[in-house]
Amino acid sequence: MAGVTDRPFRQLCKQLGAGYAVSEMAASNPRLWATEKSSRRTDHDGEMEPKAVQIAGADPQDLADCAKFNVDRGAQIIDINMGCPVKKVCNSWCGSALLQHEDLVEKILHAVVNAVDVPVTLKFRTGWNRENKNALRIARIAEQAGIQMLTLHGRTRADGYTGDAEYETIAAVKAEVRIPVVANGDITTPEKAKFVLEQTGADAVMIGRAAQGRPWICREIDHFLRTGTHLPAPLVNEVRALMSEHLQAHYAFYGEFLGVRTARKHIGWYVRDLAGGEEFRQQMNLLESTELQLDAVDAFFKKQLSFSERLQYRPAAVAADALAA
Ligand SMILES: Cc1cc2nc3c(=O)[nH]c(=O)nc-3n(C[C@H](O)[C@H](O)[C@H](O)COP(=O)(O)O)c2cc1C
> What DSSP element (H or E) covers 172?
helix 168-176
Active site residues: 84
Domain residue spans of the chain: 7-227, 236-324
What are the residue ranges in the chain where pLDDT is below 50?
316-325
Three-class HEC string of 85-103:
CCHHHHCCCCHHHHHHCHH
Spatial distance between the Cα atoms of 233 and 172, rounded to a whole number of angstroms: 35
Spatial distance between the Cα atoms of 115 and 308, rounded to a whole number of angstroms: 54
* Dihedrals phi, psi of 101, to nearest 5 degrees: -120, 80
223-236 b/e (C-beta count within 10 Å ≥ 16 → b): ebeeeeeeeebbeb
> What DSSP element (H or E) covers 279?
helix 277-284
Q: Which of 48, 19, 11 is nearest to 249 (CA)?
A: 11
> What DSSP element (H or E) covers 78?
strand 77-82
Whole-number Å distance, alpha carbon 100 to ligand 1 midpoint, is 20
Residue with the nearest Cα to atom 18 of ligand 1?
208
Question: Any long-range contacts for 213-219 (C-beta under 8 Å, 24+ apart)?
Answer: 213/266, 213/268, 213/269, 213/270, 213/271, 213/272, 214/269, 214/270, 215/9, 215/12, 215/13, 215/16, 215/18, 215/242, 216/16, 216/17, 217/188, 218/13, 218/16, 218/17, 218/18, 218/19, 219/16, 219/17
> What DSSP element (H or E) covers 162?
none
Question: Which residues does a 6 A CB cutoff place in the pocket of ligand 1?
Answer: 1-4, 24-25, 54, 81, 83-84, 123, 153, 184-187, 207-210
CATH class belonging to 7-227: alpha beta
* Dihedrals phi, psi of 78, to nearest 5 degrees: -110, 125
- Which atom number of ligand 1 is nearest to the Cα of residue 206? 26
Q: Can you tell me whether residue 274 is helix, strand or coil?
A: strand
pLDDT at 75: 95
Distance of CA 125 to CAs 136, 220, 238, Å? 11, 26, 36
Instruction: Output DSSP code: residue 45.
Output: T
Residue with the nearest Cα to atom 29 of ligand 1?
1
Let me know: does 275 contact 318? Beta carbons within 8 Å: yes
Whole-number Å distance, alpha carbon 208 to ligand 1 midpoint, is 6
- Summarised one tens digit per residue, pLDDT across range 191-208 is 999 999 999 999 999 999
Beta bridge partners of 27: 56
Spatial distance between the Cα atoms of 25 and 1, rounded to a whole number of angstroms: 7
pLDDT at 143: 98
Cβ-Cβ contacts under 8 Å for 146 (sequence gap 6 or more): 109, 110, 113, 114, 120
Tell me the residue type at 111: A
pLDDT at 315: 57
pLDDT at 323: 47
